[in-house]
Amino acid sequence: MTVRIYHNPRCSKSRQTLALLTEHGETPEIIEYLQTPPSADELRHLLSLLGIAPRELMRTDEDEYRELGLDAPSLSSEQLIDAMVAHPRLIQRPIVVYGERAAIGRPPENVLALLGPRS
């Protein structure tokens, strides 16, 4: 099975997570999600794998989050997903997917549970 990482090379946690995967013998498929943003369907799938709501995947400390009024509790899940598609900087990073499981690498060690026991 291939490990996939939604990666931002400018983010220290994302770089640390990628290094941790490599140290554990993985050669992940790297998706630089700022260059190739995930579609709404892809985000729905990631949310399902992560078991979280759209707002939990958002970087609420980003200026864009406030400027776009995304803190409004009346916004639907679909509106939040659409905002992440249009503004991928709002997506929490890194996201690591392994099979039908996913984890956010904050802290980077969170992703090790996806890999299972190592011999």
Tokens representing residue 82 in the block: 């659409």
Beta bridge partners of 30: 5
> What percent of the chain clears pLDDT 90, i.e. is strictly above it?
94
Residues 53, 88: one domain?
yes
Catalytic residue among 11, 30, 68, 112: 11
Beta bridge partners of 5: 30, 96
Residues 107, 62: one domain?
no
Which pLDDT does position 115 carry in this prediction?
86
pLDDT of 119 over the 90 cut: no
Structural domain range at position 44: 38-92
Q: φ, ψ for residue 55 (rounded to 5)?
A: -60, -30
Q: What is the CATH number of the domain that holds 104?
A: 3.40.30.10
Residues 74, 102: one domain?
no
Q: For residues 29 and 26, give the distance between their C-alpha atoms in angstroms, rounded to a whole number.
A: 9
pLDDT in tens, 30-57: 999 999 999 999 999 999 999 999 999 9
The number of distinct structural domains making up the chain is 2
Is 70 within 8 Å of 58 (Cβ atoms)?
yes
Residues 85, 99: one domain?
no
Residues 55, 86: one domain?
yes
71 vs 1, residue with greater confidence? 71
Is 29 within 8 Å of 94 (Cβ atoms)?
no
11 is catalytic: yes
pLDDT confidence tier of residue 117, bands split at 50, 70 and 90: low
